[in-house]
Chain A
Amino acid sequence: AQSVTQLDSQVPVFEEAPVELRCNYSSSVSVYLFWYVQYPNQGLQLLLKYLSGSTLVKGINGFEAEFNKSQTSFHLRKPSVHISDTAEYFCAVSRSMKTSYDKVIFGPGTSLSVIP
């Protein structure tokens, strides 16, 4: 079974500073990887996804993530954060399958707080 670990439950960072949110996964088969963001009092929305190909994936709002198969990691980065990036960030994994019936498993989340 797949699982996702997000090592940091809370990450405070000053505005305009860079940030990295860490994600590690466990799976015995090939996977798809995702980052979702949840703003206060809202549902989750997709930031970016890795399906195959280039290991560096760019998403919305200036975020990017790098897939590292040997380290089973998919860390999320942004070179300069804004106040509006304050939110909960979830890493997620699903098995890579020809048909897309597989469930998506989420990590526990990392709360990013951007300090003015």
Chain B
Amino acid sequence: DSGVTQTPKHLITATGQRVTLRCSPRSGDLSVYWYQQSLDQGLQFLIQYYNGEERAKGNILERFSAQQFPDLHSELNLSSLELGDSALYFCASSVDRTGRPSGANVLTFGAGSRLTVL
């Protein structure tokens, strides 16, 4: 158990629907990252939050949105789903404390949420 909890583990839904994926970071970690893993695109960075604020954005579609709440858990919302959105969605967390002498983001990953859009 990595300490990063993702729910649900599996989700099957239809095109046009909306789903919410949830992530609880490891205790003490302030940053949350979302990645999408698919066979043809590999591991794509979607978005990063630090202590409730958006810090970096990657290849995240406009149909997707995310937020990090005061208790540091994060949700990734996927709407108007298409077949191509079927993928594994990973959440990762890192400590990211301001003022660290080394700013390396060592990520701890959750087990992922597998989304299947039919």
Contacts and interface: CB of A to CB of B under 8 A. Distances in A.
B44 to A, nearest CB: 8
Contacts, number: 84
B2 A103 contact: no
B109 A99 contact: no
Interface residues of A, number: 27
A43 interface: yes
B116 to A, nearest CB: 15
Contacts of A44: 43, 90, 92, 107, 109
Given A43-B110, A44-B109, A100 B104 contact: yes
B77 to A, nearest CB: 20
Interface string B88-103: 0010101111111111
Given A43-B2, A99-B98, A106 B45 contact: yes
A25 interface: no
Contacts of B95: 100
Interface stretch (A60-68, A71-79, A90-98): A90-98
Contacts of B102: 51-52, 100
A87 interface: no
A49 B45 contact: no
B18 interface: no
Interface residues of B, number: 34
Given A103-B56, A104-B45, A106-B43, A32 B104 contact: yes
A46 interface: yes
A51 B100 CA distance: 13
Contacts of B100: 99-100
Given A100-B94, A103-B48, 17 more contacts: A32-B104, A36-B109, A43-B109, A45-B2, A46-B107, A46-B108, A51-B102, A99-B99, A100-B96, A100-B104, A101-B56, A103-B33, A103-B56, A106-B42, A106-B43, A106-B45, A108-B42
Interface of B: 2, 4, 31, 33, 35, 42-43, 45, 48, 50, 55-56, 58, 90, 92, 94-112
